[in-house]
Structure 1
Amino acid sequence: MLPQEIIRKKREGGALNKDEIQFFVDGITNNGVTDAQVSSLAMAIFFQKLTLEERINLTLAMRNSGDIMRWDTIDAPIVDKHSTGGVGDNVSLMLAPALAACGAAVPMISGRGLGHTGGTLDKMESIPGYSAKPSNETFLKVVKEVGCAIIGQTGNLAPADKRFYGIRDVTATVESIDLITASILSKKLAAGLETLVLDVKWGTGAFMASFEDARALAESLVKVANGAGVKTSALITDMNESLASAAGNAVEVQNAVDFLKGTHIDSRLWDITVAQGGEALANAGLAASAEAGCDAMTKALQSGKAAELFGKMVHQLGGPADFMEKPELYLEKAPMEVPIYADTPGMVTRVNARQVGVAVVELGGGRVKPEDAVDPAVGLTHIAGVGTTVDSDNPIAIVHARDEDQVARATVALKAAYVIGDAADVAEYPAVRDRIAPTV
């Protein structure tokens, strides 16, 4: 086969067969095709789209481009979730141990933050000693003994996607739903999952700003994942404000510890965590329905079992044995805590969640380039949500910073994020707006 002929076929609107897709993905993996040819195919797909069969074949070819993890020695359903990313989204930290408490095995391979979005891996690495990149043997051991492990990508999972995404990133072809689908799922399926729940976000802080685009992506992901043999459903959730009342790394871990221990629970965070867990348990056959799964999640969280397993996971991956009892001894704190007040009192009617994320980046808690380091201590707490009254006693957020310059930059971003008015102007959306059911 000739790569240029495959490009030509897709450019003209033809459907690529399995062998043609496999040939091209092999070329991406072994450098048998050039960057120019990869970018040309990406642009052809961007404009001509892929059929469902093409999306499934592309996803599987990319999954098969490297290692596929196996969990044969674990006698429990292998379950995971994927979020399309947002601000204050620390759901994974509560979801993984709660699912484990309900009988699932959760090998959660997470990523780092980029741009205005936070990364689960960065959050976990704010715990001293925590190993986010253990050996495969340690990863398996922790999942088997605790029921969950939150780590970074290990081994050689979906290497074709790494090169493909890097080229798409510099050729204006990232925003293709077909290619986003294959990119997300190739890595998830390479983790050897049996079931998956997807959290596809929409709104000012989401990759998909409109609900319609988020739904289109959710439908594509669900159809392709199920077509590839992994029972999958999706929730479309709101990202028009920070999900947790904290945004950053150590501050979000503290927020998660408080949630697990029941000392402070953000209501929207609870709704989404429990809803995702209910879906995952139903998909895995551990609950008769999503509603029954939500009940099981509630019990796992309220009983303290999820908190216990989170502590065990942290310790087995190198963190302190008493982390859950004394997190304040271990999580680094920024030297400055400065409340930021709105210029005029009133009610929060709208929030640009992306700008809230930008404020965290301005503090050094996020990254602009993949190689950037992040400061675990900085961030925001007491973030005011939509419908909250703010005045001289109630700030829009408290900034945790290293110096006055950081505070100044974060203040500008925060004030730009908030619209203050009265109750009649409040634009509030449900935490979970829609659900895409499994297609099998």
Structure 2
Amino acid sequence: MAKPRVSTSFDRTNAEPVELAFPKAEYLARWTKAKAMMEAEGIDILFATAPAHMCWLHGYYAAWYRTQAPSNWGACLGTALCLGWDEPIHFDAVGEDALLYKTSVAEDIRYFDSRSPEGQPPFIVNELKASGLLKPGTRVGMEFRSFQPNRWVQETIEMAFREAGCEVVDASMILRTARGVKSPAEIAHIERAMRICELAHETAWRTIRPGVTELDVEAEMACAMHHAGGELSAIPIMIQSGNTIGGHQMPRRRVIQANEHIKIDCSGVWFRYHANILRGFWTGEPPEEVRDRYRRSGDSWDVFAKEARAGRPVREVNAELRRYYKDCGFEGKQAGWCIGYELGIALPPDWVDEFNFSYDEDPPDDVVWQDGFVGNFETLWDTGLIDTFVIEEAGARNLVDTSRIPFDVLVCEG
């Protein structure tokens, strides 16, 4: 391996020790998995630019990726995973060296010699050429489905590869797919994130009462999570109250009233791994009809937990859910729905990952629940009920401690 470039402004040898998300062995297994998928697709170099994918490959994450920076500022950072090269090669601005030390196991880091968007793509190409990895006919995969970098920057990088004689293809799905099944170490991080999310909802439960604002509740929840070591979530805490509940709303200055429904959707975060809970709260005693609707909606979890076993087709589990919802009196999308999606590493602005299901949309028979998959289960029939689960051989295991946060409407001071 070529000797990595080093920063002249940050001395790693005298830097304080840091706690990385995983030991290097965890990442080595990921590189092996991803390279096997690349080889199957005939891809020689995968240039990963999605923030979650750079994090998955070597741990790196940042507060700012220069996505919408001024047009004359280069934003071509990315990680090249190459067949025939042991380590990923990360390309970035030299000013991020200290951050890479604090978050990443990457050892082969190439710092741009130009800040300009015109100078950075040729730098990437020339470095890969010099390492013997890029030549005419090399098949390069890029992540065209990633928001990072923006379209204009993506096109300048793509053009540089094409001008060097490379074939460029969309390889967005390689790492999206590779990340779908979580390792035991990843699941442990998600469970730690869940304890933080539970703490946030306990805090909301204590805080909600007539006279406080949605922003007051958010402030207390965020404070509790950060004091417990939780990180900023990829989507802001969503709090809705009153008779305009719906959509994905940030908290407002609205004052919470007595005898009303409040829904709160948030994720706890640990080393960028997300665990998600949504709950409905009620100021005062909920009407019996509300309690009954929550009970019927919540009981669907027992069906999912039993039926969603590793290896079982998703469509079969959907059929069991449809049967349950019909038997208990919920009908179709007019009244609500049951869906879910993959969770894992996430950076703003989104924590929703690739795999998803909907109880009324059946995939082919070969789409099965995979052992180690982590996602959320949403049963939303004018009810605020979302929990996070992991698929195991015996079924879906709820990662939420429901003795702390019951799968039900939570009654607050009214």
- Tell whether the structures are fold-level matches, with TM greater than 0.5: no
Structure number, greater radius of gyration: 2
TM-score, normalised to structure 1, is 0.26
Tell me which protein shows more helix as a share of its residues.
1
Which of structures 1 and 2 has the larger relative contact order (alpha carbons within 8 angstroms, sep 6+)?
A: 1
